Chain A
Amino acid sequence: MAVSECHRGIFTIAGAIPSQLQWRDMTYEPLRGKVWTISEGINRSIFIEGETGVVAFDTFGSPMGAIAYGMAVQRVLPDKPVHTIVYTHDHLDHTGYAADFAPNARIIAHELTNNVLVNRESDGQLPATETWSGETAWYEIDGVRFQLIYPGPTHGDGNSAAWFPDLKLLFMVDSIIPGVGYTFLPDWHLAPYIPTVKRLLDLDFDLFVPGHFWLTDREGFADNIRWYEAVAHTAQEAIVDGIDVESLPEVTRYANEHLRGEYGRLFRFDEYAGMNVLRYVYEYLHGGWGPEGNTAPRCEPIEAHHDH
Chain B
Amino acid sequence: MTTELRGNYTLAADRLAFLDARPEVEVTELGDGLWTISAGTHRTVFAAGDDGVVAWDTLSTPGAARAYREAVGRPIDTVVYSNDHLDRSGWSRELAPSAERVAHEWCARVVELRGADGQLPATQTFVDERQVGPARVFFPGLTSASGNVASYFAEQRVLYAPDTVLPNAKYSMLPDWHIRNFSQSLHSLLELDFETFVPGRYGVMTRAEFEEGLAFLDAVHEAAQHAFAESVAVWMFDAMEAFVKERLSDTWGRLDGFDDHVGIMAFRIAHHYLTGGWSTEDTAAGRPQAG
Contact = CB atoms under 8 A, between A and B. Distances in A.
Interface stretch (A117-125, A200-208, A254-262, A297-305): A117-125
Q: In the complex, which range does the number of interface residues on chain B fall in?
A: 35 or more
B230 A18 contact: yes
A183 B274 CA distance: 13
A14 B14 CA distance: 55
Nearest to A283: B8
A236 B173 contact: no
Contacts of B10: 232-233, 236
A290 B283 contact: no
Given A91-B276, A248-B261, A287 B175 contact: no
A184 B268 contact: yes
Identify the interface centre among B170, B272, B283: most chain A CB within 10 Å of its CB. Answer: B283
Nearest to A184: B173
B264 A119 contact: no
Contacts of A249: 260
Interface in B124-139: none
A288 B260 contact: no
Contacts, number: 181
Interface stretch (B46-54, B62-70, B84-92, B185-193): B84-92
A246 interface: yes
A122 B276 contact: yes
B289 interface: yes
A10 B146 contact: no
Identify the interface centre among A13, A20, A250, A271: most chain B CB within 10 Å of its CB. Answer: A13
Chain B interface mostly: loop
A10 B275 CA distance: 9
B276 A288 contact: no
Given A157-B279, A294-B113, A246 B18 contact: no
B277 A289 contact: no
A237 B145 CA distance: 24
B177 to A, nearest CB: 10
Interface in A105-137: 112, 115-117, 119-122, 125
Contacts of A18: 229-231
A54 to B, nearest CB: 25
Interface stretch (A69-77, A141-149, A163-171, A274-282): A274-282
A232 B9 CA distance: 10
Contacts of A285: 60, 85-87
Contact of B235 (A96, A183, A291): A183
A237 B280 CA distance: 33
A242 interface: yes
B172 A287 contact: no
Contacts of B267: 183-184
A237 B11 contact: yes
Given A19-B228, A283-B8, A292 B85 contact: no
Interface string A202-242: 00000000000000000000000000000011001101101
Contact of A284 (B9, B180, B285): B9
Interface in B165-206: 170, 172-173, 175-176, 180
Interface string B66-107: 000000000000000000111100100000000000000000
B157 interface: no
A90 interface: yes
A290 B225 contact: no
Contacts of A187: 275, 278-279
A250 B261 CA distance: 11
Contacts of A11: 225, 229, 273
Interface string A13-47: 10001111010000000000000000000100000
Nearest to B83: A286
A247 B172 contact: yes
A280 to B, nearest CB: 11
A12 interface: yes
A287 B273 contact: no
Contacts of B278: 156, 186-187
Nearest to B113: A294
Contact of B277 (A10, A22, A61, A275): A10
Contact of A116 (B18, B226, B229, B280): B280
Interface of A: 9-13, 17-20, 22, 42, 61, 90-93, 96, 112, 115-117, 119-122, 125, 156-157, 182-184, 186-187, 191, 232-233, 236-237, 239-240, 242, 246-250, 271, 275, 278-279, 282-292, 294-296
Given A157-B279, A248-B173, A288-B110, 15 more contacts: A10-B273, A22-B231, A42-B235, A115-B290, A119-B285, A121-B283, A240-B18, A247-B261, A248-B172, A278-B173, A284-B8, A288-B114, A291-B113, A291-B146, A294-B113
18 contacts: A11-B229, A92-B276, A93-B275, A112-B289, A116-B279, A116-B283, A121-B284, A122-B276, A125-B276, A184-B268, A236-B10, A240-B15, A246-B172, A284-B7, A286-B85, A286-B86, A288-B114, A289-B145
Interface of B: 7-11, 15-16, 18, 60, 84-87, 90, 109-110, 113-114, 116, 119, 145-146, 170, 172-173, 175-176, 180, 222, 225-226, 228-231, 234-237, 257, 260-261, 263-264, 267-268, 271-285, 288-291
